[in-house]
Amino acid sequence: MGLVFSHKLFDFFKDFYYATGGIAISVFEPPVRVSYYNKIFNYHNCIAYPSVNMDDVFCRAIRNSREIDNLCIKCDEHAVEKCRESGEIYIYRCHLGFYEGLIPVPVNGKCSAMIFVGQVYDCEKTDENFNAIYHKLQKIDSKVFTPAAYNYYRDYYYGKLRVMSEFRFRSMCSMLKFIADRMQNDRLVIDTEDNPDEMIKAYIEHNVGTRITAEKICSELNISRSTLYRRIKKAYGMGFNEYVNSYKIDKAASLLRESNYTVKQTALMVGYDDVNYFSRIFKQRMGISPMAYKTAHSSRSS
């Protein structure tokens, strides 16, 4: 039990990635150990874009080398410790000279989570500069970074490595700090250490657009199925599936009242792929079909 991050952050991170021309961003709760070589992503809790299993970043591609991956792990762990100790933005050059940044996320007055952003190259992208990088990579691992692999990594360099000045990168991190400081108040991160009921509620709230199962919740929150069922029953007086469906339908009703989404769009937004099934359980809870509900509230507002 610990922190729960809202999946609204994924949409924000996706927009951030494309708005910045391809700068990776994530939020996580330490400790963390990520190995792209071994495909180990041991975040205690993490939301990232691109997702951690996507090789859509230059630095993830070069971590196909065990030696590079190990150097990156050491660099990551050192940076996390520095940020946690200071409680301030920590901007640094990695072992290959790229800029990366860690922004502390305060939760109940402690640096309990961090936003990671990077990697950024502050030089012009030229063949000469890439050759210097590739030469450094070859010195570390000549078996992976061979002459035959040169064009493969060169394509990543030109296509996936973002160029930005140090000044702009520091300014960007300062803007992210403003967001990080508001995350708890805006319920983008919730500390559930002392409140398992709040943890369960927060998980369902933040994952309302997905298919929520008892197995997923128990795995994510590290609780037993019996504990989950017991707490739902005690807190809300109903079974697990009934509570999840009631929460989703109440959310759907709000969307139908306050937006222009169609019934099908609304069903998808609350995690139902089958619009007929959605309509059936909506009517069971609300006593009226979703289309009739939307029409009734549209006529009231007009």
Q: Which residue has the higher pLDDT, 55 or 167?
A: 167
- Band the pLDDT of 151: cuts 50, 70, 90: very high
Q: pLDDT tens digits, residue range 113-123?
A: 999 998 999 99
Q: What does the pLDDT read at residue 190?
A: 78
User: Residue 174 pLDDT > 70, yes or no?
Assistant: yes
Q: What does the pLDDT read at residue 195?
A: 66
Q: What does the pLDDT read at residue 47?
A: 84
Q: What does the pLDDT read at residue 38?
A: 63
For the chain, the structural domain boundaries read 3-182, 195-301
User: Residue 16 pLDDT > 90, yes or no?
Assistant: yes
Average pLDDT over residues 52-64: 79
- Band the pLDDT of 205: cuts 50, 70, 90: confident
User: Residue 302 pLDDT > 70, yes or no?
Assistant: no
- Band the pLDDT of 32: cuts 50, 70, 90: low
User: Residue 221 pLDDT > 80, yes or no?
Assistant: no
User: Residue 43 pLDDT > 60, yes or no?
Assistant: no
Whole-number percent of the chain with pLDDT over 90? 62
User: Residue 70 pLDDT > 90, yes or no?
Assistant: yes
User: Residue 245 pLDDT > 90, yes or no?
Assistant: yes
Q: Which residue has the higher pLDDT, 51 or 261?
A: 261
Q: What does the pLDDT read at residue 40?
A: 57
Q: Structure tokens of 208?
A: 């309302």
Q: Mean of the per-residue pLDDT values for the chain?
A: 89
Q: What does the pLDDT read at residue 37?
A: 63
- The lowest-confidence range among 28-37, 176-185, 233-242, 277-286 is 28-37
Q: What does the pLDDT read at residue 66?
A: 94
Q: What does the pLDDT read at residue 39?
A: 60
User: Residue 157 pLDDT > 90, yes or no?
Assistant: yes
Average pLDDT over residues 96-107: 95
User: Residue 153 pLDDT > 60, yes or no?
Assistant: yes
The CATH label, of 2.40.480.10, 1.20.140.10, 1.10.10.60, 1.10.1040.10, for the domain at 195-301 is 1.10.10.60
Q: What does the pLDDT read at residue 258?
A: 84
